[in-house]
Amino acid sequence: MKILACNSNRPLAEAIAEYLTMSITKAVIRRFSDMEVFVEIHENVRGEDVFVIQSTCYPANDNLMELLVTLDALRRGSARRITAVIPYFGYARQDRKSSPRSPISAKLVANLITTAGADRVVTLDLHSGQIQGFFDIPLDNLYAAPVFTNDIRARYQGDDVMVVSPDVGGVVRARAIARRIDADLAIIDKRREKAGVSEVMNIIGDVRGRRCIMVDDIVDSAGTLCNAAEALMKAGAVSVAAFVTHGVLSGGAVARVTASPLEELVITDSIPATEAVKLAHNIRQVTIAPLMAESIQRISEERSVSSLFD
């Protein structure tokens, strides 16, 4: 087995390699003067089981192209099996036609990854389950729930906790966390007038006197989370925290979170933290390196991955 890291999330790749007591395969992934991607692998990969670690986060197109060119280089280097490990799968929110003459970009990206040479894909908390069906190769969709559950138990032991889904679409994800920590579930009913703008309409469930924990897969502009936090506090919640797998946090999202009633926003390192995230007083990052490393080990040894989440 070999671990190869592209440039989008080098710290996570190094943490995964350290957990597996392996070194990262020597390779050069750089740009020509016109920003074309060039990949050169400096180790023999013929007949090897290779795992390429690359989040397709900002800059999404550059990082996606890095992944595709690396997959092609490994395929032409006669690797036995190539697994694309994509902690954050970009374009996942474009998983359906949201308006006439609009693309289904998640399907296009799935086709590109398959054509480039991937034999298998490993990702974390896909935005929607149907994306698994966009791939004609095996896909393992991991869940951050065990990582979040351990953190919640350590920090909220003995508290009157209520898990909250910030929208109807995230109920399954929130219910899974609530079941693990034996907590009640509430749902935010909101109406979104346009992309990036949300308005909280109603809270389904009694949150008075409870410590609320919102659970979601992606925080981008943070408008939904901050609006929901304000609504929960107005409804009588003692405190509001949020556990979100992918901290995209674009634009003024960090400033919005720091100025909000959110006691804490916990994100994973599926996307590397910016300097603003590191300096924010109420944003904290937890690592998914052991989870990803254990999954990689099990795939390489042809063992069950799903049993990690039992």
* pLDDT tens by residue, 102-119: 999 999 999 999 999 999
pLDDT of residue 9: 96
Q: How confident is the model at residue 168 (pLDDT cuts 50, 70, 90)?
A: confident
Mean pLDDT of all residues in 7-18: 97
Q: How confident is the model at residue 195 (pLDDT cuts 50, 70, 90)?
A: low
Mean pLDDT of all residues in 255-259: 96
Q: Is 184 annotated as a binding residue?
A: no
Phi first, then psi: what are they for 25, rounded to 5°?
A: -60, 135
Q: Is 34 annotated as a binding residue?
A: yes
Burial of 269 (0-12, 13-18, 19+ CB in 10 A): buried
Fold type of domain 145-286: Rossmann fold (3.40.50)
Q: How confident is the model at residue 98 (pLDDT cuts 50, 70, 90)?
A: confident
pLDDT of residue 189: 86
Asked if residue 235 lies in contact with residue 215, where contact means CB atoms within 8 angstroms, the answer is no
Q: Is 275 annotated as a binding residue?
A: no
Amino acid at 45: V
Amino acid at 286: V
Q: Is 93 annotated as a binding residue?
A: yes
Asked if residue 131 lies in contact with residue 106, where contact means CB atoms within 8 angstroms, the answer is yes
Classified as helix, coil or strand, 87 is coil
Q: Is the pLDDT at 54 greater than 70, yes or no? A: yes
Q: Is 167 annotated as a binding residue?
A: yes
Burial of 2 (0-12, 13-18, 19+ CB in 10 A): buried
**CA atoms of 205 and 22, how far apart (whole Å):** 48
pLDDT of residue 246: 97
Q: Is the pLDDT at 233 greater than 90, yes or no? A: yes
pLDDT of residue 224: 85
Classified as helix, coil or strand, 74 is helix
Q: At 188, which helix (H) or strand (E)?
A: strand 184-194
Q: Domain spans of the chain?
A: 2-142, 145-286
pLDDT of residue 309: 87
Phi first, then psi: what are they for 186, rounded to 5°?
A: -125, 160
pLDDT in tens, 131-156: 999 999 999 999 999 999 999 999 99
Selected catalytic residue, list 2, 190, 234, 278: 190
Helical packing angle, 105-116 and 60-76, nearest 10°: 30
Q: Is the pLDDT at 167 greater than 90, yes or no? A: no
Catalytic annotation present for 190? yes
Q: Is the pLDDT at 200 greater than 70, yes or no? A: no
- Are both 2-142 and 145-286 of the same fold? yes
Class of domain 2-142: alpha beta
Q: Is 192 annotated as a binding residue?
A: yes
Q: Is 36 annotated as a binding residue?
A: yes
Structure tokens at 67: 């992944």
pLDDT averaged over the chain? Answer: 94
